């Protein structure tokens, strides 16, 4: 038996050597594609194991495995198609990954099959929390929702608020921001209608609420979707105001600054990072604000085009500069490490373990532009691939190349979020504002 195995392995190796040799001799179409930020060269192994794939980005080893195991190109394509899906049927201004309570189907006890003398009691109704998506139509402000496990878009509200620029969702409220009279930033805080357990409450709802102060500079939501932080203008600069989702009347000032241009982010429910609004022409600074003590400390400084994304455990800051070089700053060691990736932190999201990150990485970055300015202003757009990156080992795993699946999809992903179980990754396409979802398991 052992000799037969040796013979079979030897035959396979000989066949592979013959195939490689033939490919090497006949391959005369090896090309080099040269961009300003990357050089990629095809080789004969790549060419021979492409097997007519839809893109030239196919891993040759993966193709060989698929060839040996009998996985067809169409089966691989269908698998990817089932993983990556456009969720919204319209451009959206923002979305939230929330939870909804629903009844759990419990098998009933059949008295006829019960043991003699056994007391049979009715089973009490049980409930569970399941992840849902809520998102707002960019054109008219109508809110839609769907279960994450079964994407089925249903309208949740019919209140019309035209031309929403951005929106945020908490457990009980929606925040919609738009331009009033083409000059004033209006921020509407609307109360989401209560959903009735076991009933269909996806139609005919109206949104009522109040307005926050005019011309709010920046707004962000805590990870538990229960707190709101916003920066409001004063005569001497800006103040940072904290309010809770359950009691929007209670407002607490936890930050003030003479400098007015900040972006905020909650890595966890007690910490907020405040980073100066970036430009590739000036140095940026980032601070860490404790919402309980109201103390803030400088974390990063003197980096042109600085944008940041702090890890949930607040030990690490993911940041990039005006060259889009993605790096990690270890707060305890006060040292940085380059990840050898070019992208924006705004195109990434941390996993809950504060080790892994999911990032949309541009296939090509034109170095002739000023970053991040040109990207913000829409002068440049990207065609992204989605990666999972281990920040400790540096291992990079490509999860999907959207353009291989949808030939007309030019994904420039922003606003990345995970569901609570980290089974799904969601993002908006900056190019057209549609909402997408990627199954991770």
Spell 408-430 as b/e; 16+ CB within 10 A means b: ebbbbbbbbbbbeeeebbbbbbb
Residue 403: DSSP 8-state: H
Question: How much is the pLDDT for 49?
Answer: 33
pLDDT at res. 76: 53
Query: Is residue 248 very low, low, confident or very high in pLDDT (cuts 50, 70, 90)?
Result: low
Between 7-21, 38-52, 427-441, the lowest mean confidence (pLDDT) is in 38-52
Q: What is the pLDDT of residue 409?
A: 83
What integer is the mean pLDDT of 413-427?
A: 97
Between CA 266 and CA 274 the distance in angstroms is 9
- Establish if 89 belongs to a structural domain: no
- CA 226 vs CA 197, 209, 222, 242, 244: distances in Å: 21, 17, 6, 11, 6
pLDDT tens digit string along 118-169?
555 556 678 888 999 999 999 999 999 999 999 999 999 999 999 999 999 9
Domain assignment present for residue 31? The answer is yes
pTM beyond 0.75, yes or no: yes
Q: How far is CA 211 from CA 164, 205, 240, 288, 313, in A?
A: 14, 19, 17, 28, 33
382 CB neighbour count, 10 Å cutoff: 24
Residue 198 has pLDDT above 80, yes or no: no
User: Would 128 be classed as within a structural domain?
Assistant: no
Q: What is the pLDDT of residue 333?
A: 93
3-state SS assignment for residue 61: helix
Buried b (16+ CB within 10 A) or exposed e, 202-222: beebebebeebeeebbbbbbb
pLDDT tens-digit map of 330-372: 999 999 999 999 999 999 999 999 999 999 999 999 999 999 9
Is 331 within the bounds of a domain? Answer: no
Angle at 75 between CA 69 and CA 80, to 5 degrees: 115
The pLDDT assigned to 308 comes to 98
SS3 143: strand
DSSP one-letter code for 205: B
pLDDT averaged over every residue in the chain? 84
CA distance 231 to 226: 17
The answer to whether residue 413 sits within a structural domain is: no
Residue 52 belongs to what domain range? 2-71
Could you report the per-residue pLDDT of 109-119, keeping only the tens digit for each?
A: 555 555 555 55
Confidence (pLDDT) at 61? 46
Q: Is 181 left (phi over 0), alpha (psi -120 to 50) or beta?
A: left
Rounded distance between C-alpha atoms, residue 150 and residue 394, angstroms = 34
Whether 314 shows a pLDDT value over 60: the answer reads yes
Phi, psi at residue 25, to the nearest 5°? -70, -45
CA distance 31 to 41: 6
Residue 22 pLDDT greater than 90, yes or no: no
Residue 14 has pLDDT above 80, yes or no: no
Q: What is the pLDDT of residues 57-66, one digit of tens each?
A: 445 445 554 5
Q: Is 24 helix (H, G, I), strand (E, B) or coil?
A: helix
Looking at the domain assignment, is residue 372 inside a domain?
A: no
The rounded radius of gyration (Å) of the Cα atoms in the chain is: 26
Instruction: Confirm whether 171 is domain-assigned.
Output: no
The count of structural domains within the chain is 1
Give the separation between CA 172 and CA 132, rounded to whole angstroms: 14
Three-state DSSP at 103 gives: strand
Longest Cα separation, the chain: 87
The 8 Å CB, 24+ separation contacts for 248-256 are 248/173, 248/189, 248/210, 254/229, 254/289, 254/291, 254/294, 255/231, 255/289, 255/294, 255/296
Ordered alpha helix ranges (H), 267-396: 373-376
Q: pLDDT (tens digit, 9 = 90+) per residue, 253-280?
A: 999 999 999 999 999 999 999 999 999 9
Residue 9 lies in a domain: yes
| Residue 87 to residue 37: CA distance in whole angstroms | 33
pLDDT at residue 17 in the model: 61
């Amino acid at each position: 038996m052992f000799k037969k195995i040796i013979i079979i392995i030897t035959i396979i190796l000989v066949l592979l050597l013959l195939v490689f040799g033939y490919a090497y001799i006949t391959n005369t179409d090896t090309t080099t594609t040269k961009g300003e930020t990357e050089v990629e060269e095809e080789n004969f192994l790549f060419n021979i194991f492409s097997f007519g794939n839809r893109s030239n980005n196919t891993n040759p080893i993966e193709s060989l495995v698929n060839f040996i195991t009998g996985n067809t190109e169409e089966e691989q394509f269908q698998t990817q198609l089932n993983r990556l899906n456009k969720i919204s049927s319209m451009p959206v201004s923002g979305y939230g990954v929330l939870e909804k309570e629903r009844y759990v189907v419990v098998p009933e006890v059949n008295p006829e099959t019960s043991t003699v003398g056994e007391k049979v009691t009715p089973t009490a109704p049980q409930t569970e929390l399941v992840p849902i998506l809520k998102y707002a139509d960019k054109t008219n402000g109508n809110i839609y929702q769907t279960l994450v496990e079964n994407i089925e878009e249903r309208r949740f509200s019919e209140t019309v608020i035209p031309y929403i620029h951005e929106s945020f969702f908490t457990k009980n409220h929606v925040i919609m921001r738009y331009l009033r009279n083409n000059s004033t930033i209006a921020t509407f805080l609307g109360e989401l209608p209560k959903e009735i357990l076991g009933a269909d409450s996806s139609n005919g709802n109206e949104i009522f609420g109040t307005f926050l102060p005019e011309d709010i500079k920046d707004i962000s939501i805590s990870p538990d979707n229960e707190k709101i932080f916003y920066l409001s203008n004063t005569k001497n600069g800006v103040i940072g105001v904290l309010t809770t989702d359950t009691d929007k009347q209670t407002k607490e000032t936890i930050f003030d600054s003479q400098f007015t241009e900040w972006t905020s982010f909650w890595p966890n429910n007690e910490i907020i990072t405040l980073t100066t609004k970036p430009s590739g022409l000036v140095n940026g600074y980032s601070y860490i604000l404790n919402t309980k003590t109201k103390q803030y400390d400088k974390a990063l400084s003197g980096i042109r085009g600085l944008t940041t994304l702090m890890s949930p455990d607040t030990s690490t800051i993911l940041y990039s500069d005006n060259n889009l070089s993605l790096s990690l700053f270890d707060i305890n060691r006060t040292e940085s490490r380059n990840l050898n990736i070019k992208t924006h932190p705004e195109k990434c999201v941390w996993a809950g373990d504060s080790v892994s990150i999911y990032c949309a990485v541009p296939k090509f970055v034109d170095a002739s532009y000023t970053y991040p300015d040109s990207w913000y202003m829409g002068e440049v757009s990207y065609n992204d691939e989605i990666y999972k990156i281990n920040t400790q080992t540096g291992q990079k795993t490509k999860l999907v190349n959207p353009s291989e699946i949808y030939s007309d999809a030019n994904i420039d992903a922003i606003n990345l979020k995970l569901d609570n179980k980290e089974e799904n990754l969601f993002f908006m396409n900056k190019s057209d504002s549609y909402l997408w979802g990627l199954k991770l398991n």
